Amino acid sequence: MTQSPPGSAPQVVLRPLATPLALGFLALVLSTVTFSAVQLGWIPPADGRVAALVAVFATAPLQLLASVMGFLARDPVAATGMGVLAGTWGVVGVTTLTSPPGATSEGLGVLLLTAGVCMLVPALSAGSKLVPAAVMLLAGTRFAVTGVYELSSSAAWKTAAGSTGLLLGAVALYAALALELEGSHRRTVLPLGRRGEQPIGDDPGVRPQL
């Protein structure tokens, strides 16, 4: 709030926040595609350390930032979803760094299955925004499928996890591009599947829904 001359009405200055989902989704693309490349055998298991470094030093910090910005923007879907993603990718990265190349972990499998269930909360809460909800749901599915692989060491589940990761990367990339274009053009350029949303005005402090 800015100071006003005596006797005048107080003036409120709003500082609208941009959607943090685009940043979080692009950070998600970095890790899910890199780990998929390892799981599908496109790069050798030893290069899984690169995927782990991406998760620890790129994806987790960027998604943590997106989570904080989501809380500041009063968007519980962005805040909760990005927070769970940041924590989960951080653990995946550290576990991969400290394990032999190609090794599986039952403990990590349990965590990933649990994270997959947790991702249902933001996914179902974002039902009015279909594309962001799809990203959250696919992220949970990717965690769950990878969790089954970690528990079973099955080659079929490993391939399924890698394929799901690539699909997640493609949808997350589309969602990030759509959100960025909408934010820069102040109108919908690529559809995000919003339902029941009123047109966005140009009033100060008003920004599109996340």
Pair 126, 133: CB distance under 8 Å: yes
CATH code of the domain in which 163 resides: 1.25.40
Domain membership of residue 41 as a residue range = 21-185
- For 16-32, the pLDDT digits (tens) are 566 788 999 999 999 99
> How do residues 152-189 score in pLDDT, each as one tens digit?
999 999 999 999 999 999 999 999 998 888 767 776 66
Domain-embedded: residue 2: no
| 84 domain-assigned | yes
Secondary structure in 3-state letters for 93-142: HHHHHCCCCCCCCHHHHHHHHHHHHHCHHHHHHCCCEHHHHHHHHHHHHH
Query: Residue 57 falls within a domain, yes or no?
Result: yes
* Closest CA relative to residue 27, chosen from 176, 138, 183: 176
Paired tokens of 152: 């079973």
- Domain count for the chain: 1
Q: Is residue 166 part of a domain?
A: yes
- Is the residue at 63 inside a domain? yes
- Is residue 89 a part of any domain in this protein? yes
CA atoms within 13 A on the CB side of 203: 6
- pLDDT tens per residue, range 39-80: 999 999 998 999 999 999 999 999 999 999 988 888 888 899
Q: Which neighbouring-strand residues pair with 129?
A: 194
Which three-class secondary structure state does DSSP give residue 42? Answer: coil
| CA 177/CA 108 separation, integer angstroms | 31
pTM for the predicted model, two decimal places = 0.83
**Nearest-angstrom CA–CA distance, 169 and 139:** 9
